[in-house]
Amino acid sequence: MFAPASAVVGAWTSKLAQLGAAGTFEPLECYAKGCSVTVVHASAVKAEEATEVITRTGEFHGWQAGKMRSGLIERDGDRVEVTWILDAPPPDSPVLPEELPRDGLDEPVERGSRR
């Protein structure tokens, strides 16, 4: 589980940086039933921008099990953190497909709406 989850988090980190929505990723942690990573953002707005990017990536859509993000957790100043959880797939099932879905980062987004 660690290797594919690490690849997903690495891709998210890179794509967020490219699109100006970077956050500080804490170390990835994996357990028997899945992995989690906490990300600290400069503000709630930046956390929501990052969520919009992450949920449009091929890595997010390609993950072959449950996935979710925590609510915003306030930190010192305006900073917030969120924790992403990537569940383990059923036994003998791949975590990621051989070919990831394409990113949807170029599609327009209606602000105020959620996918």
> Taking the complete model, does pTM exceed 0.75, yes or no?
yes
- The mean pLDDT of the chain is 92
What per-residue confidence (pLDDT) applies to 105? 84
- Residue-wise pLDDT for 73-88, tens only, equals 999 999 999 999 999 9
Helix/strand/coil (H, E, C) string of the chain? CHHHHHHHHHHHHHHHHHCCCCCEECCCEEECCEEEEEEEECCHHHHHHHHHHHCCCHHHHHCCCCEEECCCEECCCCCEEEEEEEECCCCCCCCCCCCCCCCCCCCCCCCCCCC
Residue stretches of the chain with pLDDT short of 50? 113-115
- Residue-wise pLDDT for 21-38, tens only, equals 889 999 999 999 999 999
